[in-house]
Chain A
Amino acid sequence: MDEEPLVRWDWIARNWSTGRVGSISSLLVDHIVMSGLPIVLGLLAALPIGLACVRWRRLYQPTAGVMNVIYALPSLPVFMFLLPLTGLTKATVIIPLTFYAVAVLIPAVVDGMTAIPDHVRQSAVAMGFNPLRRLLQVDLVLAMPVVLAGLRVVAVSSISLVSVGALIGQGGLGNLFTDAFKRDFPTPAVVGIALIVALALVADGALVFLQRMLTPWARVRRSA
């Protein structure tokens, strides 16, 4: 009874769902929202920017440069720059994560689009597809696997990065880490790590599943 165990299971049971702010289940919901929004918003922003970079190639070099710089900035100082504007709110964490997502997804969109063989595009034109229909039914569909690969990276890293927000009190499950540190009590840290890794694996698995569903031709080729 003298040694503190790595995990106190009764603590987890007592704090899982207390109905109050800070219970594990409410942190889990916060975490899903705070990591999910940047993934969705990042994709919505990266698609038009990426497509513009494909259409006007000279845009790509400067855009990629800016994105490289954004990606290199550590999250904590970026949260701090936003603090005077957004205060201690979820937005302070969601906005930078969205920018990181865009930085990863733009190259994915551009690579996916430029990898489409020219004869496929020409066939689509020859079959009478107008530019919009060609984009939606041919180009974007074929670029999907590369974009989804980028999205997997974004999803997993967003889910783990949200926890840094705990240093300004907005970290979803990351709040368990600061809690553990303040009380010199390892259980919350273990629970937080386990749930975040599990969440990342679930998100990654869901995207792999989505990719398989959306690219039936790849499955046919593999089994043939």
Chain B
Amino acid sequence: MNWLIEFFSDPANWSGSSGIPVRLLEHLEFTLAALLPAALIAIPLGLLIGHTGRGALIVVVSANLARALPTLGLLVLIVLLLGTATVLPVLIPLVVLAIPPILVNTYEGIRGVDHDLRDAAYGMGLRGPQVLVRVLVPVALPLILLGLRLAAIQVVATATVASYVSLGGLGRYIIDGLATKDYPSVVGGSVLVGGFALAMQGLFALADRLLVSPGVSRRVRTAKIR
């Protein structure tokens, strides 16, 4: 507890390039820089595979492989091979590891939509792409958001570990603190990373409330047909 007070009350930790505001912003930057490309790749691909039913094997294999790959090893290897002249090499594993959870959940979400619902949409005269956008996506949205949330958890954790291979962000306090036996910095950094991760969780819970149709999330009971 004393370590925490020491860390957060030190004015040196609040300004400059290694101050908390800068580090926090860096962490947010890395998280978004990994999550956005991952989502742009994984969501369309998941929609396509879920809707057409082709290529489902890719989804399963990529999900298992991504879970098995050790993030620290991947980061170390890529930095040893490509160097740290730019941030880009470190971002590659972050993006790669964020894709599978989004892909799997988007795919499962689309695939899991009630067949009667899909048939009804076709029966009402909607075409394939229209069915996808107007019916399948809204119904699958909770799972798509879950995929994004799991990917975000993964990215925040990996970005923290990536400080070991010289990435900035909140992980720096932990890695540098460990190296110099500065425990206030280690504990303070840990609290910041934990808080950051939980704030992300909260954001996704909020998105779930705002974006998912009340009928889908069962917040509103639909009238019973007699």
**Contact surface of A with B, Cβ cutoff 8 Å:** 6, 68-69, 71-78, 80-81, 83-84, 153, 156-157, 159-161, 163-164, 166-168, 171, 173-174, 176-178, 180-181, 184-186, 189-190, 192-193, 196-197, 200-201, 204
CB closest residue in chain A, given B152: A72
Whether the Cβ atoms of A181 and B76 lie closer than 8 Å is yes
How many residues does chain B have at the interface if contact means C-beta atoms less than 8 Å apart? 38
Classify the secondary structure of A's interface with B. Answer: helix
Give me 5 other A-B pairs in contact (C-beta within 8 A), A72-B153, A177-B76, A189-B77 excluded: A77-B190, A81-B190, A160-B68, A167-B72, A196-B73
Pick from B116-124, B135-143, B191-199, B208-216 the stretch touching chain A.
B191-199
CB closest residue in chain B, given A180: B76
CA distance A164 to B75 in the complex (A): 11
Pick from B6-14, B17-25, B37-45, B158-166 the stretch touching chain A.
B158-166
| B131 CB to nearest chain A CB (Å) | 29
CA distance A73 to B71 in the complex (A): 16
Q: Which of B68, B80, B194, B200 contacts A200 (CB 8 A)?
A: B68
Whether the Cβ atoms of B197 and A74 lie closer than 8 Å is yes
24 contacts between A and B (CB under 8 A): A68-B201, A71-B153, A74-B157, A76-B160, A77-B194, A80-B186, A80-B187, A84-B183, A156-B64, A156-B67, A163-B70, A168-B178, A177-B70, A178-B164, A180-B76, A180-B77, A181-B80, A184-B80, A189-B76, A189-B77, A192-B73, A197-B68, A200-B68, A204-B64
B126 at the A interface (CB under 8 A): no
CA distance A92 to B198 in the complex (A): 22
B47 at the A interface (CB under 8 A): no
CB closest residue in chain A, given B158: A74
Whether the Cβ atoms of B174 and A180 lie closer than 8 Å is no
CB closest residue in chain B, given A163: B70
Whether the Cβ atoms of B68 and A83 lie closer than 8 Å is no
Residues from chain A with Cβ under 8 Å of B165 in the complex: 181
Whether the Cβ atoms of B77 and A186 lie closer than 8 Å is yes
| A88 CB to nearest chain B CB (Å) | 10
| A190 CB to nearest chain B CB (Å) | 7
CA distance A167 to B165 in the complex (A): 11
Residues from chain B with Cβ under 8 Å of A160 in the complex: 67-71
Whether the Cβ atoms of B201 and A72 lie closer than 8 Å is yes
